Amino acid sequence: MNNASPTNPILIVEDDPNIAALVETYLTNAGFTTLVAHDGETGLSLARGGDPSLVILDLMLPRIDGWDVCRELRKSSDVPILMLTAREEEVDRIVGFSIGADDYVVKPFSPRELVERVKAILRRTRQAVATAETKLRHGDLLLEPEKRKLSIGGKAVPLTPLEYKLLHILIGVPGRVFTRDELLDRLYERGETVIDRVIDVHVGKLRQKIERDASNPAYLLTVRGVGYRFAEADQAE
* pLDDT tens per residue, range 85-98: 887 677 777 777 88
- Say how far apart CA 58 and CA 13 lie, in whole Å: 6
Residues in the chain: 237
Q: Are residue 171 and residue 211 in the same domain, yes or no? A: yes
Q: Does residue 1 form part of some domain? A: no
* pLDDT tens per residue, range 147-194: 778 999 889 999 888 888 899 889 888 888 888 888 888 887 655 556
Q: Are residue 109 and residue 168 in the same domain, yes or no? A: no
Domain of residue 74, residue span? 10-129
Q: Are residue 208 and residue 226 in the same domain, yes or no? A: yes
More confident residue, 93 or 4: 93
Q: Are residue 77 and residue 105 in the same domain, yes or no? A: yes
Of 99, 129, 159, at which residue does a domain stop? 129
| 70-90 as b/e: b if 16+ CB within 10 A | beebbeebbbbbbbbbebeee
Of 104, 129, 154, at which residue does a domain stop? 129
Of 129, 160, 193, at which residue does a domain stop? 129
Burial (CB count within 10 angstroms: exposed 0-12, middle 13-18, buried 19+), residue 136: buried
* pLDDT tens per residue, range 191-212: 555 665 788 889 999 999 999 9
Q: Are residue 211 and residue 117 in the same domain, yes or no? A: no
- Amino acid residing at 224: R
Q: Are residue 115 and residue 164 in the same domain, yes or no? A: no
* pLDDT tens per residue, range 16-69: 999 999 999 999 999 999 999 999 999 999 998 888 999 999 999 999 999 999
Structural domains counted in the chain: 2
Q: Are residue 20 and residue 108 in the same domain, yes or no? A: yes
CATH label of the domain that carries residue 47:
3.40.50.2300
Q: Are residue 19 and residue 87 in the same domain, yes or no? A: yes
Q: Are residue 125 and residue 140 in the same domain, yes or no? A: no
Q: Are residue 74 and residue 156 in the same domain, yes or no? A: no
Neighbour count for residue 164 (Cβ, 10 Å): 25
Check residue 209 and give its pLDDT: 93
- Say how far apart CA 66 and CA 57 lie, in whole Å: 6
